[in-house]
Amino acid sequence: MALPDELEALNKAFSGHGIHEQTLISILGKWHPEQRKSFRKGNPNLFIEDERNFERWDDHHVRLLKHEFMRFKNAVVLWTMHPWERDARLAKEALKKGPQSYGIIIEIACTRSAEELLGARRAYHSLFDQSMEEDVAQHINGCERKLLVALVSAYRYEGSKLRDDAAKSEAKTLFDAITNDKPIEDDEVIRILTTRSKPHLQAIYKHYKEISGMNIEEDLDADLRLKETVQCLCTPQQYFSQVLDMALQKDVDKSTKKALTRVIVTRADTDMKEIKDDYHNQHGVSLSKKIEDTAHGNYKDFLLTLIARGG
């Protein structure tokens, strides 16, 4: 008969983000047939009683386990990829998955430097024999298409010079467009968000709050794509800490969970210290502690190693 503490340890190893491989080895590896049978009998959430009088794995849970076992492999593969290839493949996967994943394209287009985005577009050419812009235009319809095509096509000025009077005027332009509803259909909104430098957009962000009394993204709650664009351009660390917190919740869907790997791998060499600081400020717990409590096994250890790189 399986011991209660062993069953509890196994249930924990099978839940959360990743798999606690060492627990499976140390417990399952020594169990005899009767102990494995009691495990199957005691876990109707994992096993189904077959009409021919045996317990069989629930196919849905087998598929979920496959994803959990693969998290460590996927994290290592993404980490060792050239960043251009990584972003190109992430963008391609997001386009295949459909509207629920289009935010990943915005993330790549808005949080990379001009050279990094250009490199991702070059890699996209090589990997998929078409341009990223072409693929975005082909897959995305409606008013979102113009925004996303312009974002992935951008090559922003990265110097520090800006005209504060222009930033103030464009903050008013954004405020008027958002107040008048359907800002994503406004050509001036698209122009400002897809061509202006990030320092210029930071100035717009500041002036917008002076005009509205609210941050831009707060006034864009009804327009997810524009909200994600503004967050990624103006408050990227806050954006990433929110994405990580959602990914670390229990019982979230597999696409939301995958963001944990994506964000940590893509930001480990860039702004992870700032993301960790923002996470702690927003959620009152360190990102390391949250991962310790939520993830398992080699996957957990790899993530913790990556986020420790930035200090």
Looking at the structure, tell me whether residues 20 and 8 fall in a common domain: yes
Residues in the chain where the model's pLDDT stays below 70: 1-2, 310-311
CATH code of 199's domain = 1.10.220.10
Looking at the structure, tell me whether residues 183 and 137 fall in a common domain: no
73: in domain = no
Q: What angle do CA 43, 49, 51 make, to 5 degrees?
A: 180
What's the pLDDT at 2? 59
Please tell me the distance from the alpha carbon of residue 214 to that of residue 265, in angstroms, as a whole number: 32
What's the pLDDT at 295? 94
67: in domain = no
What's the pLDDT at 46? 86
Looking at the structure, tell me whether residues 163 and 130 fall in a common domain: no
Given a contact cutoff of 8 angstroms between Cβ atoms, the answer to whether 223 and 184 are in contact is yes
Listed in sequence order, the residues at least 6 apart from 287 whose beta carbon sits closer than 8 Å to its beta carbon are: 241, 244, 275, 276, 279, 280, 307
76: in domain = no
Range of the domain at 144: 83-155
Domain boundary at 20, 40, 57, which? 57
127: in domain = yes
Looking at the structure, tell me whether residues 277 and 261 fall in a common domain: yes
129: in domain = yes
118: in domain = yes
Please tell me the distance from the alpha carbon of residue 186 to that of residue 165, in angstroms, as a whole number: 21
Domain boundary at 127, 155, 183, which? 155
